[in-house]
Structure 1
Amino acid sequence: MTNPQSAQVRLLSLPVLGSLPGDPSPLPALTPARGPTTTRVSDEAPADMMERVARGRILSPLPYGVLSDYDRADDALELPAIELRNGWLRALVLPSLGGRVWSLVDEVSGRELVHRNPRLRWANFGLTDAWFAGGIEWNLGSTGHTTTSNLPMHAAVLDTPLGPVVRLWEWERTRDLVLQVDLWLCGARLMTSTRVVNPDPVPKPLYYWTNIAVPETPGTRVLVPASHAWRTDYAGVLERVSVPFPDGPVDVSVPSNSRYAADYFYEVGDQAGRLVCAVEPDGRGIAQTSTDALRGRKLFLWGNGPGGQRWQDWLGVRGTRYVEIQAGVCPTQLEHDLLDAGASRTWTEAFVPLDLDPSVAATDYDAAARAARTAVHEAAPPAWLAEQHGRWLAEVADLGPGELIHTGSGWGRAELALRGAAGPVGTPFPEVDDDSLPLLRFAERGDPTELDRIPPDRSPLPVVSDRWMARLADAAGRGAGWWAHYALGTARHVRGDLEGAHAAYLRSTELLPSAWALRGLALLCGDATERAELYERAGVLAPDDRRLAVERLVSLLDAGQPERVVAAVTALPDALRAHGRTQMVLADALARLGEEHAALEILEDLEVPDLAEGDRTLAEVWEQLRPGEPVPPRLDFRMSPSVANGPAD
């Protein structure tokens, strides 16, 4: 063991090439930003797994806004970063982007242990759309990349018996849970201790996974001591398979062998010191191990098919490749555990450089996995890790963080004001001048007129929890203005109370017409003509809102009116008309009108920044225009076998 006081922590400005995702859309997402890629679980699944699968799916990412206005620019950015360094390891943490560990370097060998993306690139992979690949991320909330992935976190440096500790914390608003992640260095180990707190007197679904992106070369091998895994492969089924040979001769422990993208959730049972690691042919790589509260281990691979290769190029720069090794509270990511009322869940992880004998790393899978386990448990023995976790709980977890070095959102303070409660020990929530402020003042003073100060062009996303909904209903009954009725309509809408939502939206527009309440009425309208009129009125009030414009176009297309789509696109402002998503809808409309040449001309240079994982739309438009012809690689983002691409290997 080494002297923990040798670690150094500093705040710096990190140069990065790429772009940032822009402001959240003011349009409430009333359904998930992405649909599930797995829709059925094999009959082999045990009853307790099925119970957890049935629990906890969120209806929408509200109260978070969708982040879909990003581009693929190569701007020179400067991001705040926190550096931890001790001569063995150097870690860079991005507090403005969910606390992501952007880089982890083995300073002895000079080797980067995680996938440090050469570009900050975005795609629709997250619960709120925008997500970027690389590093180590902390996913709390619900199945998918966390709502806080792109958002700032509170951060501070603590002087502790473990040495300097970087504390990250935030209030996750879809669940109303508090996430605390403490990071420190101990010799050649990056240590993280995590606490999730349920501040409310009701149990909550608990979903958490640590995702570690690691470089992928043709010889990268992922090792977990397990003989079986639960697999999803974008064909819609979660099924139990053997590893590393689930389908015959292909060894999926070498991810580049696989044809198509897949998730493998390993059956690690009650193993002590559960672990997952990735090594190169020279035997070097990275391993993750943890205390027992993190039960699951996973490999995500892109595969060598055209869709996986296209996505890898899209999410970074051409030729860069990565896979993800992960650890979570449940055996699979379709499951949600239960966090009791007022309870917390804690665990400690160690991320360590691995150095196996190359001949052992390449040998029989079981022997290689056993060798990896031996090496990992020598670097971070399970008993020692449990001892470190106990020390953190007793001596560090509840320490006040002192002065902030980075500020997250003000929503934790607003939620505590609503409850009339103090925050969890160790994670104070300050007042922040952001979109939480009017709701904070309303919660503190109980005066409905506080909400009347909210102008439509700077409207925060509606708060939709049961607690906020009750307070909004009270405010609406005491003469509150347009925003309270609009937010109440949204809360009812997402719960399926369509009649109540309609009444609240209508009252909001009577008090003050807004694009957002009119859009809500449009979504509820069953008559295509009336719906188009409502969208048109909303568009007049928010002419530069791209998501509203695209939603209107899709509504016209779904109503069988492609000619109106073409006319509406022509009338849009230049920036909205030129956006890739708008042009994709236009190409679809032109194809339906039989104007093949015009549609193909659009596809020739089309780039849609906010594509989704598993998105087949571009390929489908091509196949409509050119049935039987191969989909061009630049349009092919399909992640599972198809007739067009031939059978899987």
Structure 2
Amino acid sequence: MLQSEEITEVLLTHPLVPTGPIPTAYDPDGFYPYESFCETSRRPVLKKYRMVSIENDQIRVKICPDLGGRVCSIFLKKDAVETLFFPPIVRPVRILPRQCFTGGGVELSFPISHSPVETASVLYDVTRDQERIYVCCGERELRFGMHWTVEYSLGEKDAFLTQRTVFLNPDSVPHPWMSWSNAGVPARPDTEFHFPGGPVLRHAREMRTIDWEKEGPRRQSDVHRMTGFFWKKPDCYAFGVFTPSLNAGLYHVADPSQVPGIKLWSDGIGTDQAWVSQYTLDGEQCLEIQAGPLVDQSVKDVLQPGQRRHHVEYWIPSSTAREIRQISLPQTKMRTMDKVPIFGWARDEDVTDWLSLTRAKKSGDVSQIPQAPDVDNNRWAISGMADLGDALFWAARSTEGSQRNKWLFQFGAWLCGRGETDRALEVLAQSCDDRARALSGRLWLVHKHDPIAAANCFRAIKSEAIALHPQVVIERDRALAALSKETLDERGRWLKAVSALDDEWLAERRASWLVDSGDAQAALNLLRSTRFQLVHQRYERIRLWKQIATTLDLHTIEYPSWLGEDDLAEFGAYREHPEVQQR
């Protein structure tokens, strides 16, 4: 019997520490206008999450709108087998785009991998017709203003979960996008990999193409380091994993014309298991089976103005091992596309100020202009609102003093988020808001490659609190480091001013300063004594380590895993802007 239930569950949750007051425009570790995070608290709190459960006589599926629409459970009722990995804790870790990834369940990513709202609340809708129950989750994303909806559905006799995903670009200009469905499943040494044959791109310390039948691992115990596998020309389009010790498996199938992308990700057995343990409660391991409408994660596609596209895929839980070439594509009868909801903005706190401002602009009533977000509010003008620019310009022109400066700052940030960076610098230069000066400093360094102008922007900051914020100290130090060694004393004064702070990102800059000051040994000692949280696909510490090793003539081939950075080859269109490589 088909049925649904909406409930609330309490999960242990680790709060996140925001990176700082500088908007994420041109930040290689950010995704404008979303706030980024630099640290996960060590102790969790209790937090409530909305869950939607749908079931028939065979399976029960649980979906969490408060975790970006993530599927948290696909449970086989007859065999009492859970086929997804979902830890009883939300413990985000450092993975792009916002440095707040949490593993487990089925995660839908858009418009970048991984989703910028995977730990945030999205809108949802539960409906039913004569054939099926539908749970839709989605929103209008903030970066480009595109809509996404993921529709999960279950029929009376289905032994699988149907996932239909819809993307829509309502804007008048095209926007880039990427999307993958990532299913976290239990990983034990005996977990078997049931994947197609054919050439596979192997992403580890090096990138190379292998023949899966001849060189591919057959089970988790065959993988000894973190590795991603992308299928280039699979000989079938069903795949999955099965763990005999758990009698649990999960398989995926889709029409290859819609969903050609197939990926397996495993941290394997050995030292890289810590990269999974960090987002669990008890160190239990998981791996990911992934699928998507793109072949791999090195490129993005473009959604044209007014374009709507969708694709359908199926998740098949199993208590026995399946032969993938015998898994046929289900022929489900779903409702028509016009019945799939297109959601609006999901979180009031993200959009209230900007919607109020645009309404005031339309009325022409200056008295209706809201107060601009202040320095303690990391809400930045939404680049996905195409008509917001005129309202921001009007607000800056219609106000005076600190309000004018704040609106100019927001207007400049919005322009930068929309790709109008040169104009953004012109607007930001008119603002006396210290956040505008800090953002200008980054833009001059990263976009214009002008460290002199960048350093002068940071030197113009008036507020002591802002000047000493770790994010600002770090960005200033990068700008000063790009100049000659004549700035060593200036760098040293700022770094000494925050020397009592236990901050791993400041430790990087202190080590860089020590190297530039000629004390590579002290830099090495500092890095060795810092307890770094693990961070994926970021190699600033590695580059610093290589410089130290060369200076000290260290003859070692041991990978310095204690730096908290992985040793994967750089691959994937995960960043909006390339990482700035500076000492």
Equivalent of 1:139 in 109, 125, 133 = 109
Which residue pairs with 1:220 in the alignment?
Answer: 191
Range with bigger deviation, 185-194 or 95-104:
185-194
SS in structure 1 of the partner of residue 94 of structure 2: strand
Native 8 Å contact 2:25 2:416 kept in 1:
yes
- Of 255, 276, 288, the match for 2:239: 276
How far did 1:517 drift?
A: 0.5
Whether the 8 Å contact between 1:229 and 1:266 is mirrored in structure 2 is yes
- Unpaired runs of 5+ residues, structure 2, are 571-583
More deviation, 71-80/488-497: 488-497
User: Are residues 1:571 and 2:497 paired?
Assistant: yes
Aligned to 2:436: 517
**How far apart are 1:221 and its partner, in Å?**
2.2
Amino acid at match of 1:568: W
What amino acid maps onto 1:209 in structure 2?
Answer: W
Q: Which residue in 1 is equivalent to 2:166?
A: 195
> Which residue of structure 2 aligns with residue 123 of structure 1?
93
CA 1:544 to 1:593, structure 2 compared with 1: closer, same or farther past 3 Å? closer
1:508 alignment partner, SS class: coil
Q: Which residue of 1 aligns with 2:332?
A: 387
TM value normalised by structure 2: 0.81
Q: Would you say the 8 A contact 1:260–1:640 is kept in 2?
A: no
TM-fit CA distance, 1:19: 0.3
1:318: how far off? 6.8
1:346 maps to which of 310, 315, 324: 310
1:506 CA drift (Å)? 1.7
1:80 positional shift: 3.1
The 5 A counterparts of 1:81-480 are 81-86=51-56, 88-117=58-87, 119-142=89-112, 144-186=113-155, 187-235=158-206, 237=207, 240-246=209-215, 251-268=216-233, 274-281=237-244, 284-291=248-255, 292-304=257-269, 306=271, 308-316=272-280, 319-356=283-320, 371-374=323-326, 376-377=327-328, 382=329, 385-388=330-333, 391-393=334-336, 398=339, 426-429=341-344, 433-446=348-361, 447=364, 449=366, 453-457=371-375, 458=377, 460-464=379-383, 467-468=386-387, 470-472=389-391, 475=394, 478-479=397-398
Structure 1 residues 91 and 22 mapped into 2: Cα distance closer, same or farther (>3 Å)?
Answer: farther
What is the deviation of 1:198? 2.3
The Cα shift of 1:124 comes to 2.6
SS at match of 2:296: coil
8 Å contact from structure 1 (residues 329, 337) kept in 2: no
Q: CA shift at 1:581, angstroms?
A: 2.0
Distance in 2 separating the partners of 1:475 and 1:254: 61
d(CA) in 2 for partners of 1:544, 1:92: 45
The 2-side partners of 1:634 and 1:487 are apart by 39
Q: Using a 3 Å threshold, how does the CA distance of structure 1 residues 160 and 20 change in structure 2: closer, same or farther?
A: farther
CA contact (8 A) 1:489 1:504 kept: yes
Q: Within 2, Cα distance between the matches of 1:339 and 1:234? A: 32
Q: Does structure 2 retain, via aligned residues, the 8 Å contact 1:515–1:541?
A: no
Give the secondary-structure state (helix, strand or coil) at the position aligned to 1:578: coil
Q: Which residue of 2 aligns with 1:638?
A: 566
In 2 relative to 1, CA 102–26 (structure 1 residues): closer, same or farther, beyond 3 Å? Answer: farther
Is 1:11–2:7 an aligned residue pair? yes
Q: Which residue of 2 aligns with 1:412?
A: none
The separation in 2 between residues aligned to 1:242 and 1:591, in whole angstroms, is 44
Instruction: Say if 2:140 and 2:343, in contact at 8 Å, map to a contact too.
Output: no
Corresponding residue number in structure 1 for 2:458? 534
Which amino acid in structure 2 is aligned with residue 325 of structure 1? Answer: I
Alpha-carbon shift at residue 470 of structure 1 (Å)? 4.9
Aligned to 1:125, the other structure's residue is in SS state coil
Q: SS in structure 1 opposite 2:509? A: helix
Contact kept, 8 Å, 2:87 with 2:104, in 1: the verdict is yes
SS at match of 2:73: strand
Task: Give, in angstroms, the shift of residue 103 of structure 1.
Answer: 3.1
Partner of 1:410 in structure 2? none
1:278 shift after superposition: 0.8
Report if the CA contact (8 A) 1:168-1:180 is conserved.
yes
Hey, what's the Cα distance between the residues in 2 that align with 1:252 and 1:163?
A: 38
Give 1:268 shift: 4.9
Are residues 616 and 255 of structure 1, via their aligned partners in 2, closer, same or farther at CA, if it must alter by over 3 Å?
farther
Q: 1:168 to 1:23 in 2, by over 3 A?
A: farther
Label 1:297 to 1:23 Cα distance change in 2 as closer, same or farther (>3 A).
same
Note the C-alpha offset of 1:594: 5.2
> TM-score, structure 1 length as denominator?
0.74
User: 2 CA distance for matches of 1:639 and 1:256?
Assistant: 20
What is the identity, as a one-letter code, of the residue corresponding to 2:243?
A: E
**For residues 30-78 of structure 1, what are the alpha-carbon distances to aligned partners after superposition, in whole Å with 9 as ceiling and x for unaligned?**
33534xxxxxxxxxxxxxxxxxxxxxxxxx7222222335333343444
Note the C-alpha offset of 1:592.
4.5
Report the identity percentage.
17
Give the aligned CA root-mean-square deviation in angstroms: 3.6
Aligned partner of 1:66 in structure 2 is 36
* 8 A Cα contact 1:591 1:624, kept in partner: yes
Conserved in 1, the CA contact under 8 Å of 2:136 and 2:151? yes
Matched positions, count: 547
Q: How far 1:437 moved relative to its partner?
A: 1.3
SS in 1 for 2:125: strand
The offset of 1:505, in angstroms, is 0.9
Question: For residue 371 of structure 2, what is the amino acid of its counterpart?
Answer: R
Cα distance, 1:451–1:608 mapped onto 2, change above 3 Å: farther
Unmatched runs of 5 consecutive residues or more in structure 1: 35-59, 362-370, 400-425, 643-649
Distance 2:19 2:131 in 1: 38
What do residues 53-108 of structure 1 show as CA deviations (whole Å, max 9, x unaligned)? Answer: xxxxxxx7222222335333343444333333445333332322211223333333
Distance in 2 of aligned mates of 1:323 and 1:348: 23
- Structure 1 residue 29 corresponds to structure 2 residue 24: yes
**What amino acid sits opposite 1:320 in the alignment?**
E
Is contact 2:250–2:318 with CA below 8 Å preserved after alignment?
A: yes
Residues 289/632 of structure 1: CA separation in 2 closer, same or farther (3 Å cut): same
In 1: Cα distance, 2:511 partner to 2:34 partner: 31
Q: Given that residues 286 and 351 in structure 1 are in contact (C-alpha distance below 8 angstroms), is that contact kept between their aligned partners in structure 2?
A: yes
Does the 8 Å CA contact 1:114/1:135 hold for their aligned counterparts?
yes
Task: State the shift of 1:172 in Å.
Answer: 1.7
Give CA-to-partner distance per residue, 1:144-191, whole Å, 9 cap, x none. 212222221012322333444322121123232211122233443223
CA distance in 2, matches of 1:573, 1:448: 49
Distance 2:489 2:560 in 1: 27
Q: Which residue of 1 aligns with 2:541?
A: 617
